[in-house]
């Protein structure tokens, strides 16, 4: 296979993911509505309750809406990653996954292509959210819109890879509700998305340590710093490391000779 | 000497303690229409999952046109066209979009894919449905689309797992005629898995699979003669019943 054949294949995977996203308009709307509800209702309500001290990367006191914006961007990507996972389970049940895995390209390349496609979709959603947030007078520095892009890409890859890994563990579409309860909610709430960690430590030291070990916390912080044109090396290291680990896990899980598919058999295959 | 289109040697596969395939060996001659004949649960779909690398091959070997599936998987897959028992088309995309996606997964560019799509859809008499959503096609039309799509990258071996399941008698006959015609028009080999003996003709190479084991192989007419049967249906019943005798 030539390099241009690889490019054609990657383009095709991204094109299909984009087309599916466009076909599912309600998915785009709900992806946007969810963080906006948090921004317009939750943040407005809690603005007076949750005071935020001056913490990096902010150089002054900020409104609560400003504080939770990076967390909501990460939330968009978290839901998108899990949505990709859901669509992979659906594809497996409907047989579309077989078409992908039958390609003569290496399996790691196909899965990485799917991951990149999902990440690009999530980044588009994030920028749509940032546009609406800007109208709500949440205005990070103009350069921040550019510097946040690599952070969004990396976080998107990490959460997409986590979704892919989870999709290999989910046997049926019906089991996906468990992902909501056991992955999305704990990851989101036990993080710095809604409240700074110093406040968490005041309330519950053990929860503080849980938040510290949660890769989603570092994803939020990576986005927060990048949106304000700063770099958080710890957050980057954790997110990068987790992205690689989840990707490797997903590759092993989808490897017919080693993964979970080998143990329980490919979906939809009768004897 | 030409390598067989597909060669299985000592293939075994288990789901936990249950053995789905037990020391299966056979070969599909190049340029032939071969039928993998077996009842539901015989192990046909498991064999397909091994041939298409959806399952890992743990015992035995499989080779597509001389390319070992373990050692040269990508070369083997590039020569293989597959139609699964369950539908694998994206219902929300148009017929042409499904073809374009399949072409991309084989590294085929748009211009080439468009030309081939038009040619194949015309061959399956669906040239006017290219822009229709797959969801709006009938079951028989979807099957024809799947067969055409499987040929897009010009494979040399086409494997079909019970492709006529759920179709009416007319659609079944159309699909069978279409696939038999491909051997001449596309110069390819075909492995057709089915449990329906009326899809077999006397000159077909038949592999009888029952309870995970190959019971017999040979031309349909030879199997009928060897078992003293009037036709392949009777021969098939005798072959699988013989195993049940003490």
Give chain A positions within 8 Å (CB) of B55. 256, 261-262, 265-266, 269
Q: Flag if B56 and A258 touch (Cβ within 8 Å).
A: yes
Q: Flag if A102 and B80 touch (Cβ within 8 Å).
A: yes
**CA A38 to CA A188: how far, in whole Å?**
13
**For residue range A224-246, what is the model confidence (pLDDT) as tens digits?**
999 999 999 999 999 999 999 99
**For residue range B44-101, what is the model confidence (pLDDT) as tens digits?**
888 988 998 888 888 999 999 999 988 888 889 889 999 988 888 888 889 999 999 9
| pLDDT mean over B104-128 | 90
How many domains are there within chain A? 1
| B245 has pLDDT over 70 | no
Domain range spanning residue A10? 3-261
Which member of B46, B78, B88 has the closest CB to residue A271? B46
Least Cα separation, residue B229 to chain A (angstroms): 28
Asked whether A192 and A57 are in contact (CB, 8 A), the reply is: no
**CA A202 to CA A51: how far, in whole Å?**
14
B209 strand-pairing partners: B214
What's the confidence (pLDDT) of residue B8? Answer: 94
**CA B139 to CA B89: how far, in whole Å?**
12
Least Cα separation, residue B183 to chain A (angstroms): 22
Asked whether B209 and B215 are in contact (CB, 8 A), the reply is: yes
Query: pTM, whole model, 2 decimals?
Result: 0.83
Q: Which residues of A212-249 are buried (b: 16+ CB within 10 A; e: fewer)?
A: bebbbbbbbbbbbbbbbbeebeebbebbeebbeebbeb
Assigned domain for A269 exists = no
**CATH number assigned to the domain covering B1-79+156-213:** 3.40.50.300
Least Cα separation, residue B33 to chain A (angstroms): 22
Confidence of residue A256 (pLDDT cuts 50, 70, 90): low
Give chain A positions within 8 Å (CB) of B91. 94
**CA B48 to CA B88: how far, in whole Å?**
14
Which member of A2, A8, A104 has the closest CB to residue B104? A8
- A54 close to B (CB below 8 A): no
- Measured between CA atoms, the residue of chain B closest to residue A92 is B88
Give chain A positions within 8 Å (CB) of B48. 269
**CA A136 to CA A145: how far, in whole Å?**
16
Higher pLDDT, B179 or A229: A229
Each domain of chain B, given as residue ranges in start order, spans 1-79+156-213, 90-154
- Measured between CA atoms, the residue of chain A closest to residue B113 is A8
| A261 has pLDDT over 80 | no
Assigned domain for A266 exists = no
Asked whether B55 and B30 are in contact (CB, 8 A), the reply is: no
Assigned domain for A268 exists = no
Asked whether A264 and A92 are in contact (CB, 8 A), the reply is: no
Which member of A1, A16, A99 has the closest CB to residue B107? A1
- A1 close to B (CB below 8 A): yes
Task: Give the orientation angle of helix A144-169 with respect to helix A233-253, to 10 degrees.
Answer: 30
**For residue range A6-37, what is the model confidence (pLDDT) as tens digits?**
999 999 999 988 888 887 777 778 777 888 88
| pLDDT mean over A43-47 | 74
Burial of B231 (0-12, 13-18, 19+ CB in 10 A): middle
Q: Flag if B105 and A15 touch (Cβ within 8 Å).
A: no
Provide the percentage of residues in chain A whose pLDDT is more than 70. Answer: 87
Q: Flag if A269 and B77 touch (Cβ within 8 Å).
A: no
Count interface pairs A-B at CB distance under 8 A: 118
Asked whether A193 and A71 are in contact (CB, 8 A), the reply is: yes
Least Cα separation, residue B209 to chain A (angstroms): 12
Least confident of A33-42, A106-115, B14-23, B115-124: A33-42
Asked whether B6 and B64 are in contact (CB, 8 A), the reply is: yes
């Amino acid at each position: 296979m030539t390099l241009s054949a690889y490019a054609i294949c990657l383009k095709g995977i991204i094109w299909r993911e984009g087309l599916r996203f466009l076909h599912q308009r309600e998915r785009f709307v709900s992806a946007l509505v969810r963080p906006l509800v948090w921004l317009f209702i939750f943040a407005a309500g809690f603005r007076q309750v949750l005071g935020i001290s001056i913490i990096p990367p902010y150089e002054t006191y900020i409104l609560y809406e400003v504080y939770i914006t990076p967390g909501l961007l990460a939330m968009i990507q978290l839901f998108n990653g899990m949505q990709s996972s859901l669509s992979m389970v659906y594809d497996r049940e409907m047989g579309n996954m077989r078409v992908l895995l039958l390609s003569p390209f290496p399996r790691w390349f196909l899965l990485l292509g799917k991951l990149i496609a999902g990440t690009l979709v999530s980044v588009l959603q994030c920028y749509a959210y940032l546009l609406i947030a800007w109208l709500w007078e949440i205005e990070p520095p103009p350069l921040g819109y550019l510097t946040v892009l690599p952070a969004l890409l990396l976080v998107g890859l990490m959460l997409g890879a986590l979704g892919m890994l989870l999709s290999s563990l989910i046997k049926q579409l019906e089991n996906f509700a468990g992902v909501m309860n056991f992955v999305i909610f704990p990851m989101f709430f036990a993080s710095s998305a809604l409240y700074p960690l110093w406040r968490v430590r005041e309330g519950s030291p053990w929860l503080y340590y849980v938040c510290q070990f949660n890769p989603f916390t570092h994803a939020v912080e990576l986005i927060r710093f990048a949106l304000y044109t700063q770099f958080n090396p710890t957050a980057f290291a954790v997110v990068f490391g987790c992205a690689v680990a989840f990707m490797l896990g997903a590759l092993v899980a989808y490897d017919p000779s080693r993964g979970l598919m080998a143990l329980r058999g490919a979906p939809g295959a009768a004897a | 000497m030409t390598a067989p289109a597909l060669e299985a040697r000592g293939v075994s596969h288990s789901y936990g303690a249950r053995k789905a395939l037990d020391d299966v060996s056979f070969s599909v001659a190049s340029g032939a229409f071969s039928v993998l004949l077996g009842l539901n649960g015989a192990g046909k779909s498991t064999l397909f999952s091994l041939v298409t690398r959806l399952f890992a091959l743990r015992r035995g070997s499989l080779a597509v046109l001389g390319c070992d599936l373990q050692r040269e998987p990508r070369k083997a897959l590039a020569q293989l066209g597959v139609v699964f028992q369950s539908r694998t088309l994206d219902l929300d995309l148009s017929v042409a979009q499904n073809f374009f996606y399949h072409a991309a997964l084989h590294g085929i560019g748009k211009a080439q894919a468009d030309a081939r799509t038009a040619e194949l859809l015309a061959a399956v008499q669906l040239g006017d449905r290219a822009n229709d959503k797959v969801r709006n096609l009938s079951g028989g039309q979807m099957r024809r689309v799947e067969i055409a799509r499987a040929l897009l990258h010009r494979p040399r071996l086409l494997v079909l797992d019970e492709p006529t399941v759920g179709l009416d008698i007319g659609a079944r006959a159309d699909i069978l005629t279409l696939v038999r015609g491909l051997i001449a028009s596309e110069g390819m080999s075909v492995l057709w898995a089915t449990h329906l003996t009326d899809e077999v003709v006397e000159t077909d190479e038949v592999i009888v699979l029952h309870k995970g084991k190959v019971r017999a192989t040979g031309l349909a007419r030879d199997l009928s003669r060897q078992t003293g049967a009037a036709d392949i249906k009777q021969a098939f019943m005798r072959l699988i019943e013989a195993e049940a005798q003490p």
